Amino acid sequence: MQIKQENKFKTFFKRYGAITLTAVLVFACVLMIGITASVNAPQEEPTEDVGNTNAVIFTSPMTNASVTKDYSELLMYNSVLERFESHLGVDLVSNDSNDVFSVLDGKVVDVRYNSLEGNVVEIEHSDGFLSEYSSLDSNILVKVGDLVTKGQVIGTAGASATGEDGEGARLHFALYKNGTDIDPNNYLDLQAK
């Protein structure tokens, strides 16, 4: 008589197959729940290092200014240049005076002219801010290296920028924080739009 030897693998699964299969299924379910929970977990918003908690208070670059063209990162058609471009500043006009003021204390870092922007003054301020005043007339009252105070007259709004021709005397005001353009509406009180 011959005794039949069973395969050890078959023997193991006959005895422990149900337990092994249950353990694998439980492990797979726990793994799927863990992956789903980590994917659906609310992401923590990165916090911005505010450093100095003193609020920066800007003054308006013109008295009683109205916005004629607002800040927009979206592309808009410029009929003068016949192309689409974003408008990374605000255009201001005033019925009171064309005087242009520094929005904060700072140092004049650039005074230049180019045909698209016209006469331009750039002022560097504390906390990484830089203000840019474009389309000034030729009567610029500051030069590179001058220290200016908040509210000091730096020039007069004009029509020197040809990139937006036909709009008359106006100020194109742009604001930067750490080298990146930002919406001036977030820092200036420009309610009369």
Tell me, yes or no, whether 171 lies in a domain. yes
Q: Does the structure show a pLDDT above 60 at 45?
A: no
Q: How confident is the model at residue 175, as a pLDDT?
A: 95
- In this structure, what CATH number is given to the domain that contains residue 144? 2.70.70.10
Tell me, yes or no, whether 122 lies in a domain. yes
Does residue 191 or residue 97 have the better pLDDT? 97
101 shares a domain with 6:
no
77 shares a domain with 32:
no
d(CA 58, CA 125): 11
Tell me, yes or no, whether 157 lies in a domain. yes
75 shares a domain with 164:
yes
Q: How confident is the model at residue 10, as a pLDDT?
A: 67
100 shares a domain with 5:
no
Question: Among residues 138, 65, 56, 149, which one has the least CA distance to residue 102?
Answer: 149
69 shares a domain with 33:
no
Question: Residue 8 is part of which domain span?
Answer: 1-38
Q: Does the structure show a pLDDT above 70 at 52?
A: no
What percent of the chain is modeled with pLDDT above 90? 41
114 shares a domain with 27:
no
Cβ atoms of 184 and 137 closer than 8 Å: no
Does residue 115 or residue 146 have the better pLDDT? 146
Residue type, 22: T
Mean of pLDDT over the chain: 80
Tell me, yes or no, whether 118 lies in a domain. yes
Q: How confident is the model at residue 156, as a pLDDT?
A: 95
Q: How confident is the model at residue 41, as a pLDDT?
A: 53
Question: Among residues 62, 39, 78, 76, which one has the least CA distance to residue 158?
Answer: 62
Q: Per the structure, how many domains does the chain have?
A: 2
97 shares a domain with 138:
yes
Tell me, yes or no, whether 58 lies in a domain. no
33 shares a domain with 102:
no
By DSSP bridging, strand 99-101 and strand 153-156 are antiparallel
Tell me, yes or no, whether 47 lies in a domain. no
pLDDT digits (tens, 9 = 90+) for 79-133: 666 667 778 889 999 888 999 999 999 999 999 999 888 999 999 999 999 999 9
112 shares a domain with 73:
yes
Tell me, yes or no, whether 181 lies in a domain. yes
